[in-house]
Amino acid sequence: IDPTIKFEHQPWYINATGGTLHPYQLEGLNWLRFSWAQGTDTILADEMGLGKTVQTIVFLYSLYKEGHSK
C-alpha cells in the first residue's frame, strides 16, 4: 500500500482493535504517513488531549501492517 495515499476511512486493521479514530486523528495519520513517505522530518504538535499518542501508535502500526518496517 502506498503511504502517500490518504485514508478516507479508518484502516481495517484499526477496526479490528475495536478503537475508533476521530476525523482529525485520521487527518494527522495521513499527514504523518505522507511526511514519512517523502522523507521529511515532522513534529506532531496537536493540543494536549487530542490523541498524539494514539496517532503515533497507529502510524507505526500502519507501517508494520503494510510491510514498510521489519
User: What are the tens digits of pLDDT across the range 3-59?
Assistant: 788 899 998 888 888 889 999 999 999 999 999 999 999 999 999 999 999 999 999
Burial class (CB in 10 A: 0-12, 13-18, 19+), 21: buried
Buried b (16+ CB within 10 A) or exposed e, 23-57: eebbebbbebbebbeeeeeeebeeeeeebbebbee
* pLDDT for residue 70 is more than 90: no
* pLDDT for residue 1 is more than 80: no
